[in-house]
Structure 1
């Protein structure tokens, strides 16, 4: 569960284990399971022709097309053999340092709550629908799994070296709110778009800037986490942006953070 805030992260403990809680799947009400089903039922038809192929492939592989909020134990039983990733429940937003440390361990944090029926289109604080539906289908791909672990390891080093804002921007404009070309079309890549009915439409259909993704431009472009994005970077391909981010080291990250 990622919502970058480097200043806040610096004031909080960074041991990732301190943020792991029980999912307590039994506490979800019938109404909350209905919210999941409603979100899933309206999101999948829209994304069908507008999102990168590995996302769609991951849904049946992981059994995410079943009813109700997934139980993480059962989901891990499918996910871990595919890519080596494990999902861990958390109670809310995880600070940057702990978040990247979790990724470095080949784990992904999942909120143990879901939005209310009055917040279907947009939620400022990521919930389990964002975390599971938005991120987990992509984690079934070994290539994406390698990329996410590489970002985690680099993020830990970047924050320790004072470059947390740079790695956060790269993550934000690719994994969370990125677009990518696939089959000659611009498609959704980021989990923040995949899990947001309102912003998925905006990213694909609205008259907004969609510049080509480069590490330099993404690393030097500020963002806000409380509104729809004013622009969306478009990678040349999913494979290309994955290779670029996986190959990036701390020296390269520091160079991206240098003034123009």
Structure 2
């Protein structure tokens, strides 16, 4: 899913959820031709009572996605995610209202959601996180985009991320990330993007392979990647035009901040590399480390060679 459209200016429009996709380390250009002719997604506005009205088709999409993921995540998501999902007590037949999510987040970590358009400015994204507000675009994917959507929709935001916003370490990491992003330069943001990508979006947790679980929201909101990320056999899902089939098993690497900041990625395919933290509280250790000093070190060393194939044009 695309997070950042461009990073050429502070006022650039970005995907509602985060700043982490189309930066120097992430490239979505191969996907643009497939979506140029599609109707753009538009977030819903709330009424005078703060209620957002969704159509029957939109609620049916929510139910279909949630039902399918409920079959995948019990033995693959980390325990803290499952605990957060229980706390949220999401409805199965309709899209939840954000104020219901806020009640749980406020009571656990002091966070809340913020309804935003499909695209927001780069600066607004960081400001929201720095103020413990998680941006949520209030639209849901159409059925033709059920398996893959470029923009982060409400299913990705609520099901992928909000359960873990009830966990103190995950919440603190997001807040710190927002504060760092606000003061970072354009080039520093390119490198910070990889930190968010390989943790909040596509992170794994568990030092022992048999105990390894998913905490990244980009994985947990994707039925196919939820299976693939922990799979140690060849991947059987057919290749699609917009999401190429991986050519090998996923590679799990122990989390190293400098390595993460130097690892390029593509947003238009299943990920070939996942970084693994020992436990969720490791996010506290990352927050307490010299992140920006390590960013400067990564900038001086440059990126690793990509492990993914070049895109065909």
Q: How many Å separate the matches in 2 of 1:30 and 1:13?
A: 30
Distance apart, 1:22 and its partner CA? 3.6
Higher helix share: 1
1:128 to partner: Cα distance? 0.3
**Correspondence for 1:188:** 214
- In structure 2, the partner of 1:42 is 68
Pick one of 190, 202, 205 that aligns with 1:177: 202
1:200 alignment counterpart = 226
After TM superposition, the score normalised by the length of structure 2 is 0.74
Q: Deviation of residue 258 (structure 1)?
A: 2.3
Alignment of 1:1-260 (within 5 A): 3-12=3-12, 22-23=45-46, 25-158=51-184, 160=185, 162-181=187-206, 184-205=210-231, 206=235, 207-259=249-301
| In 2, Cα distance between equivalents of 1:212 and 1:245 | 17
Q: In structure 1, what is the Cα distance between the partners aligned to 2:5 and 2:117?
A: 17
Shift of 1:125: 1.1
Shift in CA distance, 242/39, structure 1 to aligned 2, threshold 3 Å: farther
* 9 and 69 in structure 1: CA distance in 2 versus 1, 3 angstrom threshold: farther
CA shift at 1:111, angstroms? 0.9
Q: State the SS of the aligned residue for 1:124.
A: coil
Match of 2:33 in 1: none
For 1:2 and 1:105, locate their aligned partners in 2 and report how far apart those are by CA, in whole Å: 23
The runs of 5 or more residues in structure 2 that have no matched partner are 17-42, 236-248, 303-313
- Using the alignment, how far apart are the partners of 1:252 and 1:187 within structure 2? 27
Larger radius of gyration: 2
2:253 is paired with a residue whose SS is coil
Deviations, residues 46-92 of structure 1 (Å, cap 9, x unaligned): 11011111110011212225431110112212221211101011111
Aligned partners of 1:21, 1:133: CA distance in 2, in Å? Answer: 18
Question: 2: CA distance between counterparts of 1:131 and 1:254?
Answer: 30
SS at match of 1:258: helix
Q: CA deviation at 1:23?
A: 4.4
Identify the range of structure 1 (29-38 vs 90-99) with the bigger mean alpha-carbon deviation: 90-99
Change (3 A) 1:29 1:204: same
Report the CA distance shift for 1:66/1:246 in structure 2 as closer, same or farther (over 3 A). farther
- When structure 1 is superposed on structure 2, of 218-227 and 183-192 the one drifting more is 183-192
Structure 1 length normalisation: TM-score? 0.88
Q: Give the superposition deviation at 1:146.
A: 1.3
Aligned CA RMSD, in angstroms, stands at 2.5
